[in-house]
Amino acid sequence: MSNVSYYTAEGLKKLKEELDYLRDVERPKASQAIAEARDKGDLSENAEYDAAKEAQGLLEMKISKMEETVANARLIDESQLDTSKVLVLSTVKLKNTGNQMEMTYTLVAESEADLKAGKISVNSPIGKGLLGKTVGETAEITVPNGTLKFEILEISRT
């Protein structure tokens, strides 16, 4: 079962660079650690060897998952996005109707989310609640500690 994920060119490039680093740098390090542990003697009582093998297994699993993610990644053509409603890569200016605070978020793929940079995942509760909304609409979003209401003030593209 494939999980298609949508990425910006920058996000996909970053993902591929991380995968290349794991393959080209971390994988040889793991093999070297196993070889060094093997050289220390009896493998049946060698905790260092067991730990190195386990670390290699975890690394290979991470590489495999990343390869699957890259294989199922789709690049978003920003020029084709509708600017009348909230979609992936929309920058949305919101007003919390409860406390009247205004905030601006950009909706991005899960792997590109960075709250400090104002980037939230389209899979987050707030991201899901904003998708498809237009300027002037109110999004009522259930979050773990209650319900929030946001008025959509502005939608733009990154």
Beta bridge partners of 95: 102, 151
Say what the pTM is.
Answer: 0.60
| DSSP 8-state secondary structure symbol assigned to residue 23 | I
Q: Which residue has the higher pLDDT, 9 or 59?
A: 59
Residue in 27, 15, 43 with CA at minimum distance from that of residue 111: 15
For the chain, percent of residues with pLDDT exceeding 90: 41
Amino acid 94: pLDDT: 93
By the 8 A CB rule, do 141 and 125 touch? yes
Q: Say if residue 78's pLDDT is above 70.
A: no
Residue in 117, 96, 98, 97 with CA at minimum distance from that of residue 107: 117
| DSSP 8-state secondary structure symbol assigned to residue 19 | H
Q: Say if residue 28's pLDDT is above 50.
A: yes
Beta bridge partners of 31: none
Q: Say if residue 144's pLDDT is above 50.
A: yes
Residue with tokens 């919101």: 94
Which of 11-25, 71-85, 133-147 is predicted least confidently? 71-85
Which of 44-48, 90-94, 134-138 is predicted least confidently? 44-48
How many other CB atoms are found less than 10 A from the CB of residue 29? 13
Amino acid 156: pLDDT: 84
